[in-house]
Structure 1
Amino acid sequence: MQYLNLGRSGLKVSRLCMGTMSFGSSQWRPWVLDEAESRPILLRALELGINFFDMADFYSLGVGEEVVGRTLLQHARREQLVLASKAFYAMGKGPNDGGLSRKHLLDAIDASLRRIGTEYLDLYIVHGFDPDTPIEETMAALHDIVKSGKARYIGASTMYAWQFAKMQHVAERNGWTRFISMQCQLNAAYREEEREMIPYCQDQGIAVTPFSPLARGLLSGAADSLRKQTDNFTQEFYGDEVSWQIGKAVERVAAARGVAAAQVAQAWVLQRPGVTSMLVGADAVSQLELAVAALDLRLSDAECFEIDRHYTPCDVINDHHNAQRIPRTPR
């Protein structure tokens, strides 16, 4: 396993980060693994040298944090783990059960720590941008969470680059804790973050930890997977002809190499400028091992061209305008 500093911090994380959205309770989503099925994958991640685990309170509405925390802390010393979790999405029906208000963030960090079974998080991430809360309120609350010892560092996820830059500016202007990482969607079928967000992060020394390297299963070559059939975001984000063409190109490159399509798709992400640690989701140990193998797969310029030549720009994917996204067509 390879290890890198997370941004300009001294925190060292594995080049692969174990994404945990698929661990928790199948009652939340049909493709989510229950605890007994989740444990072997999490334990194999430890064996492979992965020390970075990304959770969110929203995953299985808290059950995900319980399953991941219980499994990892039974088999690894806390100081050897880099545990991250996120807050923003509603955890209940109350008016303060979501968002990035001071009230919700202080409640959310305490609830996450209880579920995971730890006194602190290494990285606390805001899961999205909250237009209904003043940025000063959010950044002050995050600063207090760090100063209280409940989180060592903070990060952000899934927003426009201007929103992220504005939050960083507010923190810097007030002498508060700044974000050290950005978790954004990036894969061969979705590259819009390479326009503004990733260059901004490179300029500012912020770690990029992309998720969905397989485009929610599109680039895995497993058209019949349960998640691809039941995850509505797969069709919403990648249900266009351009995405399909890119998926076929990935399969062609993989076939010529004699490796799995997923391995090629993940190697593509790992080679992108600015990427620090790639999030990996898995519902089987074999899928996790393919991701580790992708660390040693170097795609040639010709192979990258075969994949990239099909790309067509598209609307940004985030919570603010997904309902208004215009389906793209081939160039």
Structure 2
Amino acid sequence: MNDADDGMEYTTLGTTGLEVSTLCLGCMNFGSDRPWMIDDDEKSRAVIERALDLGINFLDTANVYSRGESEEIVGRAIEGYDRSELVLATKVYGEMGEGPNQGGLSRKHIIDQCEASLDRLGTDYIDLYQIHRWDDQTPIEETLSALNHLVEEGLVRYIGASTMMGWQFAKALYESDLNDYERFVSMQPEYSLVDRHEEENLLPVCADQGVGVVPWSPLAGGFLTGKYERDAEPESGRAATDEHTRERFTEENWAVLDAVREIAAEKDASPAQVSLAWLLHKPVVDAPIIGPRSLDHLDENAGAVSVSLTDEEIERLEAPKTPVWSRATGDL
């Protein structure tokens, strides 16, 4: 791992030679589709530019985020930057229109949407093209063949995946090996101190197969920032409108947050920094996806790379929670 002059650290994604910052900038907030999104082009661009200045070179978006608006904002923001140093990641699967062939992982939809994402991002190639979910309606061989075609055409450099059953991911990797198709080099699972179900599903597959892990929602929709309190109705933040975030308001999770707050106070760090540092200490994790909505939040998140945790502190953070897998907790 190399250190940048500004303190950001870098690692390779899985077993590839692709160098990525150990924090990935999530770009879902750059749009207007949900109440908690930034909904301001200038403010969104300021966050992206600050992230690049901090040494974050890994940006993750998706075609479905505000129906392409996020990709367009990212594309405008990176104009003038050295493209060879940036790692742009986007995703395909979600519904992009009302008619037929507007969603899923068919060969047609994948290739059509790759071309559309390239236009919105204003680039000639996508560094990491990811399937957003598993598609039960399309044979995985068709999906992999289409992704392999995009790599051969030079439109995509690497392929990745996100959120599925462990057996599905293992099957996809097997089919790639069997047919000599491009292999998924990364996986995006939901993973945080209060969402540890993937330790019993995808993470063992990733560790065994050398697949890079890029966790989404590492702060559990803001829960692990400490902004919410027991027995208090959330009046702002994502929990005010997002049911999945409110579902985390369990006594077990509050106990995790208690431990996070205690260790944060001992280290003169913030709860968010301790929560991200825990992920950065996991050998299977390459780069948690942070989703700051302001420059202050971004700077705070970036400070997590300097927070060191002992084995005893990691045990304290993990003690209140026992990882359990189910389709419900996996958000499939």
TM-score of the aligned structures, taking structure 1 as reference length: 0.92
CA offsets, 1:121-159, max 9 Å, x none? 001000010111111111101101111111011000001
User: Which whole-Å deviations, capped at 9, do the CAs of 1:168-203 have from their partners, x for residues lacking one?
Assistant: 111110111111111111111011212242222122
Residue 243 of structure 1 is matched in structure 2 by 253
The residue number in structure 2 matching 1:12 is 19
Supply the distance in 2 between the matched residues of 1:230 and 1:185 (Cα, whole angstroms). Answer: 19
1:94-243 equivalences under 5 Å are 94-223=99-228, 225-236=236-247, 238-243=248-253
What is the aligned counterpart of 2:274 among 256, 261, 264? Answer: 264
Partner of 1:328: none
Give the match's secondary structure for 1:267: helix
Are 1:81 and 2:91 an aligned pair? no
- Is the CA contact (8 Å cut-off) linking 2:222 and 2:237 kept in structure 1? no
Q: Is the deviation greater in 292-301 or in 145-154?
A: 292-301
1:3 aligned partner, one-letter code: Y
The alpha carbon displacement at 1:233 in A equals: 2.0
Choose which of 262, 272, 296 in structure 2 pairs with 1:286: 296
> Which aligned pairs between 1:48-63 and structure 2 lie closer than 5 A?
48-63=54-69
Q: Count residues in correspondence.
A: 316
Residues in 2 aligned to 1:253 and 1:130: alpha-carbon distance in whole angstroms: 41
Cα pair 2:89 2:127 within 8 Å, conserved? yes
SS across alignment from 1:142: helix
Could you give the per-residue CA deviations for residues 86-115 of structure 1, whole angstroms, max 9, x where no partner exists?
011111222311111111111110111111
Q: Which amino acid aligns with 1:58?
A: V
Go from structure 1 to structure 2 and tell me whether the alpha carbon gap of 1:87 and 1:318 turns closer, same or farther (over 3 Å shift). Answer: farther
Asked if structure 2 preserves the Cα contact closer than 8 Å seen for 1:207 and 1:275, the reply is yes
Deviation, 1:252, is 2.0
> Quick one: which amino acid aligns to residue 208 of structure 1?
V
Deviations 1:287-313 (CA, angstroms, capped at 9, x unpaired): 111222111111122322222111033
Checking the alignment, whether the CA contact within 8 Å between 2:62 and 2:91 is kept in structure 1 is yes
Amino acid at match of 1:46: L
Confirm or deny that 1:66 pairs with 2:57. no
Q: Contact between 1:211 and 1:279, CA under 8 Å: does it hold in 2? A: yes
1:35 paired to 2:45: no
Q: Is the 8 A contact 1:154 1:180 kept in 2?
A: yes
Structure 2 stretches of 5 or more lacking a match? 1-7, 229-233
CA change 1:239–1:39 in 2 (3 A) is same
Assess if the C-alpha contact under 8 Å between 2:280 and 2:305 holds in 1: yes
Match of 2:307 in 1: 297
**Please, what is the CA RMSD of the aligned residues?**
1.4
Kindly state the Cα deviation for residue 319 of structure 1 after the two structures are TM-superposed: 4.4
Q: Matches of 2:302 and 2:269 in 1, distance apart?
A: 13
Q: Supply the distance in 2 between the matched residues of 1:157 and 1:60 (Cα, whole angstroms).
A: 19
Counterpart residue identity of residue 285, structure 1: L
Q: In structure 2, what is the Cα distance between the partners aligned to 1:3 and 1:258?
A: 24
Alpha-carbon deviations, 1:239-270, whole Å to 9, x = none? 32222221222122212222211011111111
In structure 1, stretches of 5+ residues that fail to align are: 321-331
* Separation in structure 1 between the aligned mates of residue 99 and residue 252 of structure 2, nearest angstrom: 40
Q: Which residue number in structure 2 is paired with residue 255 of structure 1?
A: 265
CA distance in structure 2 between the partners assigned to 1:311 and 1:97 by the alignment: 40
C-alpha separation in 1, matches of 2:116 and 2:330: 26
Q: Is the 8 A contact 1:24 1:65 kept in 2?
A: no
- What amino acid is aligned across from residue 256 of structure 2 in structure 1? I
Residue 189 of structure 1 aligns to a residue in which SS? coil
Query: Percent identity between the aligned chains?
Result: 46
